[in-house]
Amino acid sequence: MALERTFSIIKPDATRRNITGKVVAKLEEGGLRVVASKRIHMTREQAEGFYAVHKERPFFGELVDFMISAPVIVQVLEGENAIMRNREIMGDTNPKDAAAGTIRAEFAESIGENTVHGSDGPDTARDEIKFFFADDEIVG
């Protein structure tokens, strides 16, 4: 097993409902450590850049509008197999399909407003961490 880092966002539906601590508790209980964290309000340009991979999808405009609708918490998480582990703790994209006990099963409001983002592989993890964090902001 490898010690990895992954990138996480606690999305506007969670900051709006003041449940960010509950989300972080799930991540920590699942074996991940927060090694960088900041609360930001994304600009439209940042949200469009971050989600550029989805720009042809029909929900792109809705996704960008949602992600800039309130603050978010961007984080770097570290742990054994952190990328896949985070995806397991998050649950499926659609909360209706998410396994019991996952963040999305417990907290997500819809497939769009689904509480968390998590990188889906090593390349995206590296790129997404770099998108929001300088090396000296990640403090282990």
Backbone CA torsion sign across 139, 25, 10, 4: positive
Identity of the residue, 54 or 130, whose beta carbon is nearer to ligand ADP in the bound complex: 54
Beta carbon of residue 51, minimum distance to Mg ion (angstroms, whole number): 9
Q: What residue 109 binds from ligand ADP, Mg ion, none (CB within 5 to 8 A, per partner kind)?
A: none
Q: Judge whether 41 counts as a catalytic residue.
A: no
Q: Which residues bind ligand ADP (CB under 6 A)?
A: 54, 59, 62-63, 93, 111-112, 114, 117, 120
Set 73, 117, 125, 128: catalytic member:
117
Q: What is the 3-state secondary structure of the chain?
A: CCEEEEEEEECHHHHHCCCHHHHHHHHHHCCCEEEEEEEECCCHHHHHHHCHHHCCCCCHHHHHHHHCCCCEEEEEEEEECHHHHHHHHHCCCCCCCCCCCCHHHHHCCCCCCCCEEECCCHHHHHHHHHHHCCHHHCCC
Beta carbon of residue 39, minimum distance to ligand ADP (angstroms, whole number): 19
Q: What residue 31 binds from Mg ion, ligand ADP, none (CB within 5 to 8 A, per partner kind)?
A: none
Beta carbon of residue 67, minimum distance to ligand ADP (angstroms, whole number): 8
Number of residues binding to Mg ion, judged by CB under 5 A: 1
Beta carbon of residue 112, minimum distance to ligand ADP (angstroms, whole number): 3
Identity of the residue, 63 or 83, whose beta carbon is nearer to ligand ADP in the bound complex: 63
- State how far the Cα of 15 lies from the Cα of 13, in Å rounded to an integer: 6
Residues forming the site for Mg ion (CB under 5 A) = 120
Active site residues: 117
